[in-house]
Structure 1
Amino acid sequence: MKQIWMPLIGGLILVYACTTNKVTGKKQLNIISSEQMMSLSDTQYKEVLSKSKVLTTTADARKVTEIGKRIAAAVTQYYNAKGMQAEMATYKWEYNLIDSKEVNAWCMPGGKIAVYTGLLPVTKNDEALAVVMGHEVAHALAEHGKQRIHQQLGTELVSLGLQGMMAGKPQQTQAAFMTAFGAASTLGIILPFSRKQELEADKLGLQFAAMAGYNPEEAIPLWQRMGALSAGNKPPEFASTHPAEETRIAALQKQMPEAKKLYEQAKRK
């Protein structure tokens, strides 16, 4: 009986737990609420900061704060213009520079931003850093983290259903089938979904940086430098969570005319 009802329960979850993300306009699951995600993120952000060397008085730290504030202001204006003040009211922006050789930056739900000093030699200038920070903010606004959690829950639900259906088969057959399912779901669903999120964040982040008054054209040399940094150390695109730099650059070049319009509008304000 459990084997029959499990797929049905999964289908009901998909139907009744969907909402529309306000920034992307796309349908997404809402099993975990945005409030829960923000609460968890706030706790994790504080934990990361407590275990890290946070720089607050250096010129680079002030630069991160300034860029973060300008992007936050641009995003808030964007949301307000679309009548989405309630969504942005839940954001409590923070910007911190962490002393680490890691080439990384991230933004948690609720606007909790961290930039690592190892990223700065790669970004080289304020515009490129703004593109990266805009990209990370876009991940948070599009609720990509929550989508990935829901995707994992969905995959696990299907896996449990398949295990139930295979219960009467020999153990070796079950193991081979579940291994094949794991590989297929990773290469066919999870990784392509992750790459799609990255390209979506690239597009939105480019726009946010431009709206904040940073030249979006710096995104192209930035990703060229990123590509040179990781040359020979990345798996093929189909086996990666991120698109190849060539793919990103081609997409950004297509989006550049619209981003430049936003940049010119920002300069006139």
Structure 2
Amino acid sequence: MKKTILAVAALSVLAGCQVTKSPTGRTQALMYSSADMNTLGAQSFEEIKAKEKVVTDARVNGYVACITDAITAHVPSSYGVKQWDVVVFDSPQANAFALPGGHIGVYTGLMKVAKTPDQLAAVIGHEIGHVLANHSNERLSRNQLTGMGMQIAGGAFDLAGVQNKELWMQGLGLGAQYGVALPFGRKQESESDKIGLDLMAKAGFKPEHSVTLWQAMGAAAGGQQPIEFLSTHPSNERRIKDLNKGMPKANATYQQAQASGLRPSCKV
């Protein structure tokens, strides 16, 4: 009897899944609607802004907005976001994140590692890639299927009153303090690298700088990273190898962008 009940429950959950394809053609099972994910993204972003110190320096904000605007101009219109909300947070962490619904956070610590506009574009493109590929929805859906017990009441999220809020935030790639970006799985990280490389090239940023960025990240970490098998992130070496594999296509896209006059001039 118990097995029957569990089987029925499992079938009910699976019936709510939407099987779709990511931008790179990977099959995904998603349980939540875009509207629900956008609501969660917006509520989470407001909470982060309330907890973190927001940078008010117009030059810094203008610099990050210049890079972000150039990239988001190439986000497919089918995503449904016309204006992306970009905030710079004063924090030593070398991090950035993007949330469903068009919300982007960049930490000042990242700008000390990503020292050129092209390098910062590689990070921002990568984070937007997570959003376009529905990675948050995918992770939350997987958590639901594996019994973490997160539920949507009334078809919409209420972050203020929902139970297991920490799990929702982690599903979005945000740590317990909402200021630390958590990694997605290796496949998702690699997928976002591909999407981000294409986005930055379309915007007119030099694709090769995605490689120099991860070299800089490795140097900043002092070489102290776990072996790839034990890490959800691809190793820097693996990541750089995969980026270089996609570089010929990205460079061709970059040349087309340059020829059409897309030459971002973003300065602090």
Q: Which residue in 2 is equivalent to 1:119?
A: 110
The 5 Å alignment of 1:70-85 reads 70-75=70-75, 79=76, 85=77
Q: Which residue in 1 is equivalent to 2:34?
A: 34
SS at match of 1:156: coil
Q: How many matched pairs?
A: 227
Pair 1:26–1:15, CA change in 2 (3 A): farther
Instruction: Give me the TM-score of the superposition, normalised by structure 2.
Output: 0.78
The 5 Å alignment of 1:15-30 reads 17-21=17-21, 23-30=23-30
Q: Which residue in 1 is equivalent to 2:142?
A: 151
Pair 1:268–1:232, CA change in 2 (3 A): closer
Instruction: Report which of the two has the higher share of helix.
Output: 1
Q: Could you say which structure has the greater relative contact order, defined with CA pairs below 8 angstroms and 6 or more residues apart?
A: 2
Identity fraction in percent: 40
Q: How many angstroms apart in 1 are the aligned matches of 2:103 and 2:2?
A: 42
Larger radius of gyration: 1
Q: Which residue in 2 is equivalent to 1:181?
A: none
Q: Which residue in 1 is equivalent to 2:201?
A: 210
Q: How many angstroms apart in 2 are the aligned matches of 1:268 and 1:10?
A: 53
Q: Which amino acid aligns with 2:73?
A: A
The 5 Å alignment of 1:74-223 reads 74-75=74-75, 79=76, 85=77, 87-90=78-81, 92-156=83-147, 194-223=185-214
Is 1:53–1:99's contact at 8 Å kept on the other side of the alignment?
yes
Q: Which residue in 2 is equivalent to 1:6?
A: 6
Output the aligned Cα RMSD. Answer: 2.2
Is 2:122–2:197's contact at 8 Å kept on the other side of the alignment?
yes
Instruction: Give me the TM-score of the superposition, normalised by structure 1.
Output: 0.78
Q: Which residue in 2 is equivalent to 1:268?
A: 259
Displacement of 1:102 = 0.8
Q: Which residue in 2 is equivalent to 1:52?
A: 52
Listed as ranges, the gaps of 5+ residues in structure 1 are 80-84, 158-191
- 1:1-52 C-alpha deviation (Å, 9 max, x unpaired): 1223424542564365223246333332232211111101101101111222
Q: Which residue in 2 is equivalent to 1:61?
A: 61
- 1:153-172 C-alpha deviation (Å, 9 max, x unpaired): 22227xxxxxxxxxxxxxxx
Is 1:123–1:129's contact at 8 Å kept on the other side of the alignment?
yes
